[in-house]
Structure 1
Amino acid sequence: MIVPDISQNAVAVADHYDELDPIYRRVWGEHVHHGLWETGRETAAEAVEALVHTVGERLRLRPGESCVDIGCGYGSTARQLAGTHRVRVTGFTISAGQARYAAEHPEPDVDIQLRDWLSNGLADSSANAAWAIESSEHMVDKPRFFAEAQRVLSPGGRFVICAWLAETGASGWKVRHLLEPICREGRLPSMGTREEYEAMARAAGFTVTGYEDASRSVARTWTICAFRLVKALLVDPEARRLALGARNRSSFLGIPRLILAYRTGAMRYGIITLSKPEEP
């Protein structure tokens, strides 16, 4: 497990997203996660929605099911899946700015809560499916992240995780100059490998039913983010003031590092599909 040299906690993660909220929506968009280029001809918006569509397909969502979006951001993924699959979604975010934006864009059957997933308050076996798109990285206690999902899902429940993962056996220079700084700049308490994630999932009681390395299909995201950020800094004085004066501005300086981490294979993007076993 890659751990940054400066400890990160939930308060730091929430502060990161709250302070950079206006910039993130401009650079990342409302989904705040990678896009998935399946043909290479998709627009950035289409690629972002394609990733959400892929998650929905892996979950095999059925109308009327109760679902959980762990680390839901602005609620855009929850709204998209609730609308296309006719499911009910409860989303969790620790960012007050994200929760406020979600409240300003309500959707039937979508409930966004300002609450830490590690203390979610949901009843045992109360959901049929759950997903975590690029939020597990921010979890201070990753085994508990898996344990809570296992507790909340009903027998036979499905769980899909899209995660930034460290290369298995990454060399020392990749850890020192790419992975550890990415954790520090992105407010990630830790970054695991595929093997570590699957081991934690199994320890929590899940069965691993699928894994896809989508690194090559998502890497273009960071080139687009870099272009958008440079454009915002050049043409928008307010964006420039926010980005350059922010306590968390190192996150933007780390974009070239993320591009290099994908190109060298130091960082991987995994889509992990899990299931909770049926009761005997």
Structure 2
Amino acid sequence: MAQHEASSPQLHPGDQHEIPSVEAHGSFDSLKDRIKTHYEIASDYYYSLWGQHIHHGLFKSAHETKEQAQVNLINYLLEISALPASAKVLDVGCGVGGTSRFLARERGCTVTGITISGRQVEIARQVTATETGGSAPSPGSFARYADEAGRGGGRVRFLELDAEKMLDHFRPAAGDETETFDCVWISEALSHLPNKELFFSSSFSLVKSGGLLVIADWFKAPVLSPEQESADIKPIEDGMLLPRLYTADEYVALAAQAGFRARKEPVDISKDVAKTWDISWSLVSSPSLWAFAISQGRDGLAFLQAFRAMRRGYANETFRYAVMCFEKP
């Protein structure tokens, strides 16, 4: 009887394409332009692949779906922050609005989601209309969720706004009071912002006394060698269009410099979220997706290849994920 040859493992399309050499980012303004262009082009793909929540998942068991894990992460941030129900929240870097809608729908919050991408605002408004059963709200207008008794519950709106200009936007002309919030919430967007000092100081101005700053973000491990930086961190910064990655302790220092005090020191949950990128790597296994990425030029290919770098960074413990919460005295 003839022996069957063992089938060779199927190659992932990413294995068939080069990993672009790292290129230094240009000016901060040019980097923000590239970030905006990326999200204008890629947000529909994000939504089709990841769903409403374009962020890591917190996996509590091996059997959870990515959608369950993504909600786990939101609930964990609610746990460490003790965000009150019906709070007024500014969701910075809201993506297609998954967290904003969750806080409005499940917690009765009044949420303003901001993103640099006009396309993300469009998707967020369309999904909100489907959930609330109404027409898509006009830009800047609140959509309302009904509570269990059918009365008015939480509200949500979406604005196209550069996060580094949020203080100017919510601080009107001289003589009027600045609009303030009970909480500034930012999940996996702060690593994109070139001027992190400005973000912390603006957040301090925009939250009320006793208000919260809730953060989930990507970090590099402290005290890395130049070789570790080059092999593991630079490809992530390059492909994900990030200025240099900070350590979690640097965020703590910037928060204190702005006037915040820690409510919850950084909690490293890297091991519980790393599976996100194993799933993500399997989700980008379509040759047509890689062809589309290549058609967008170097940044498209570098972005998909950064998925590989994220997995490597987590495995080597050079790339980290942490959550934290601060309070305005």
The Cα offsets for residues 207-259 of structure 1, whole Å up to 9 and x where unpaired, read as: 122121010000000010010110x33xxx4x454223123321001111110
Relative to structure 1, the CA distance from residue 4 to residue 156 in structure 2 (aligned partners, 3 Å threshold; closer, same or farther) is farther
Q: Secondary structure at the match of 1:17?
A: helix
Alpha-carbon distance in structure 2 between the residues aligned to 1:103 and 1:41: 32
Match of 1:46 in 2: 68
Following TM superposition, the consecutive aligned residue runs of length 4 or more in structure 1 with deviations greater than 4 angstroms are none
Total equivalences in the alignment: 270
- Of the three residues 136, 139, 144, the one matched with 2:193 is 139
Listed as ranges, the gaps of 5+ residues in structure 1 are: none
Match of 2:156 in 1: 110
- Contact 2:89–2:181 under 8 Å retained in 1: yes
Q: Normalized against structure 2, the TM-score is what?
A: 0.78
The Cα offsets for residues 170-194 of structure 1, whole Å up to 9 and x where unpaired, read as: 1211111221121111011221001
Higher relative contact order (CA 8 A, sep 6+): 1
Match of 1:224 in 2: 279
Alpha-carbon distance in structure 1 between the residues aligned to 2:121 and 2:109: 20
The Cα offsets for residues 123-149 of structure 1, whole Å up to 9 and x where unpaired, read as: 446100121100001101000011111
Relative to structure 1, the CA distance from residue 212 to residue 134 in structure 2 (aligned partners, 3 Å threshold; closer, same or farther) is same
Paired AA for residue 6 in structure 1: H
Alpha-carbon distance in structure 2 between the residues aligned to 1:148 and 1:130: 10
**Shift of the alpha carbon at 1:4?**
7.2
Q: Percent identity?
A: 27
Instruction: Pick the structure with greater CA Rg.
Output: 2
Match of 2:243 in 1: 189
Match of 2:304 in 1: 252
CA RMSD of aligned residues (A): 1.7
Q: Normalized against structure 1, the TM-score is what?
A: 0.91
Match of 1:122 in 2: 170
Match of 1:85 in 2: 107
Alpha-carbon distance in structure 2 between the residues aligned to 1:28 and 1:63: 27
Listed as ranges, the gaps of 5+ residues in structure 2 are: 1-21, 129-142, 145-154, 172-177
| Matching of residue 153 in structure 1 with residue 203 in structure 2 | no
**Shift of the alpha carbon at 1:60?**
1.9
Alpha-carbon distance in structure 2 between the residues aligned to 1:58 and 1:10: 31
| Matching of residue 201 in structure 1 with residue 251 in structure 2 | no
